[in-house]
Amino acid sequence: MDQFGQNQFAPGMKSSVFVPDQLVSGPLQLVTDSVTIGVSGVLKRGTVLGMVTASGSYIPSKKDATDGSEKPVAILVDNVDTTTTAQTGGVYLMGEFNQNRLIFDATWTIAGLKAALRPLAIFLRDGIQAPIS
């Protein structure tokens, strides 16, 4: 007769813990799409992207660029390695995001990104705060 204790994990079983990165910061519906991420190296989740007008590919947005990518239009959903070739990757096109978790070029400031992304329904916040009751 086998006896089982109160341990919820049986021998040989593994458990995993999900630790959210807190990039998404609000209840606004997320809108995503799959796009071509242009050759830009290894990009991390939360990178602010612009779209190159000539190719339609997405690369990290730099405010001083002149190829169309100077206008931020999306936020990268997952890490992607575009060191040698373009890849298909997911992007957020709408939502509320934690400004402290974004990855962006030094040519941008948070205030500048907030203003540029707001018309696209991409809202940057300083994190979720508990309501005062």
- Coil, helix or strand at residue 12: coil
Predicted local distance difference test score (pLDDT) of residue 21: 76
Residue ranges of the domains in the chain? 31-125
Distance CA 51, CA 37 (A): 9
- The answer on pLDDT for 130 being more than 90 is no
Its sign, for the CA torsion 115, 121, 127, 132, is positive
Return the CATH class of domain 31-125.
Answer: mainly beta
Nearest to 104 by CA among 41, 48, 38: 48
Span 72-98, average pLDDT: 96
Return the higher-pLDDT residue of 97 and 15: 97
5 three-class SS = coil
pLDDT digits 0-9 by tens, 22-53: 899 888 899 999 999 999 999 999 999 999 99
Taken in order 92, 110, 61, 71, the sign of the CA dihedral is positive
Banded model confidence at residue 18, pLDDT cuts 50, 70, 90: low
Contact predicate 81/34, CB 8 Å: no
